[in-house]
Structure 1
C-alpha cells in the first residue's frame, strides 16, 4: 500500500527486465525477503504484500524459506525427536513413512504440500489397493508431522491435512466372546497359560501388559493386579520392557472374585519364588513372545475348531471391555480400567475410585457364577437322561 508521496508503507515492488514484478519486505527478524514468485502485474505484487503484512500483524507469519525443507527429511527428524514414543510405535512410523509417504511425497517441500496434494495422495493409496486402515494410519502420521510444523516450529500457517474422514479406519467389527467361550478357550490351553487367558479377559489387559507381570504385581490372594510396565516386540531387537502404551495404562485393577482361585493356583504352581519372577513364562522360564505362544498352542487351528475363526488374542481384552461396559460403569471408570487415554487427557487420567472398580469386578464375577451355574444345570439334565 502506497502513501501520498508514492512510497510504500510496507515492502517494495520493482519491475524486472522481463516485465514481471518482484515483491520484497522486511521480516520480523529485519531480514529482507523476496516473494517466492514474481507477478504479472504490480497490483498482484501489491496484494501479496498486503497479505504478508496482515499475517505479521496477526502473529501468523511464517518464514517461507524454512518451508523449503523436504517432507521426507522433516518427517524422519520428527520421528527421531518425538518424545515418549514406544519402540514399536517408532518402528510402525518408520515403516509407514518409508512405504506409503516418502515414495509419493518425500521429495516435496513442506510449503508446497497443499490439501489438494494430500487428497490426491490418499486417493492414490486407496486406488493401489492399500487398505483403509493402513491409509488412515499413514494419513494420521502425516497430519501429526504437519501439526508440529504449524504449531511448534511455525514453518507453515496451517496444516494441509484437512481431508474429511481420511483419519477413520472403519475396521471390521471384532467378535465379542461370551464368558463360556473364554472359559472354554482357557480350558484348552496348556495349564501354565490357563490363567493368562482368564486374566487378560477379566482384567482387560493388553498382551504386552499381561506378559510383563511379575509376582509383586499380583496380590497373594489374587484380588488385584498392578500394571506398571509392558513388553513390546520390535523386529530385530526382540522384547523390550518399557512403560505401558499410554499414561493411563499405569493402573491397579480389582480382579473379579470368581477367578481369584485360578490366580492363586497359578501363583502356587507356575510362578517361581521372588518378587521379580515373571507371572507367565515359556517352558524354559523365559518371557512369552506372542508368535511363540501362538505356535505353541496352535492358536489358529484351536480357535477355528471352536468356531471362532479369525479370533485374535487381543479379542480377549475386547470382550472384557464390553462386559465391563455392560456392567453399567461410568465412562471415566471404564476408561480407567481399560487404561485408555485420548486428547482429553486431563479427564481420562483421573482414576476410578476403588469402590467403582470393585463394583465392576463384582459384576464380572456374577457373570462367571451364572456361567458356572449353567454348566451345573446341564450336568443335572445329563444325569436325569441317564436315569
Structure 2
C-alpha cells in the first residue's frame, strides 16, 4: 500500500458509507450474518432493553451485550451510539491520553472479552511512545553518529526515545481501576433486582467462551462445533480459546518496539479466531493499515488479498441466499466462504508481520553501512 493511494481510498470509503446510509434499509443489514451476530445484534439489544423496562432481567431473553447494563436507564440510542463509535479505543491510545485510553479499554473489554489482550500494546505504547525502530538500532545510530559531527543534544534525544515511562503506565493503571470499578458498580446497581453481576458474566463472557449459539456467521467455529462430537467439545473449546492467548507473548517480544502495529496484529488475530466475528471486526484492523503505509509498502500478495476480500464479500451473501432462502445449496456452501475468509486473514497477518520485520532489518543494515 502506498501513500498516494490513501486519498482515493478515503473517498471511496466515504462514498460507500453514503450508499449504506441511503440504501441500508433495502439491504436488510440488521439480519445479515456478516454484520449482525449474537453479540452485536441491535434486535437482541432492543429486546434486552424492553425487558429491563418491564422490570425483568435483560438477559432472560436472547441478549448477550453486557453494555446494556450501565446505560439501560438512559435510552437505546445511547447504546447504538456507543457501539458505533467504539472504534475510536485505538486513536486515544496513540494520543497517549491515559484517562481516556483507560475508559476506552474498559468499555471495549466490557462489550467483548477479546480486547483484553490489547493491554500489552497499550502498556508498551504508553511506556515507550509510538512505533519506533528497535533499541539496538538507536544505539547503533548514536554510536555511528558519534564518530561524525553529531551534537550531544541529538545523541541524548535519540537514546531518550526508548526509555520506558512508568509514570504514564501507572497513571493508566490507576484510571483503569477507577473506570472498572465504576462500570461494575453501576452494573450491579442497575441489575441488583434482576439477576446481578453473576448472571451478566454468565450470559455474556460465558456465552462468548462456550460458543452455545451456533448461528451461521463469517467465522468457522459455528460450523466446527456443529459437527464435533459433544464428548470432545470441552477440549476444543479450550484449544480455540487458548490459541489467541498463546500468540500474545511471542508477538509482544518480537514487536515490542512497535506497539501500534502490535495492536493491529492482535486485532486481526481476534477478528479471525473469535467465536462470533463480524465484518466490523475486519473493518477495524483494515482501517489501521493506513498507519503503516511506508513500512508495509513491499508487502507481497496485496493483489491476492485485495480481490480476496472483495470476492468473499460478494460470495458470502450469495451462498447464504442459496442455502437459507432458495434451498439449492447447503451449509457447506456458506462455510466455504467463511473458510476462505479465514485463510485470507491469515495471509494478511503473516505477510504484514514479515514485511514489518524485513523493514526493521533494512533499517539496521542502512545504519550499520
> Structure 2 length as normaliser, TM-score?
0.27
Structure showing greater radius of gyration is: 1
Larger relative helix fraction:
2
| Higher RCO (CA < 8 A, seq sep 6+) | 2
Larger relative strand fraction:
1
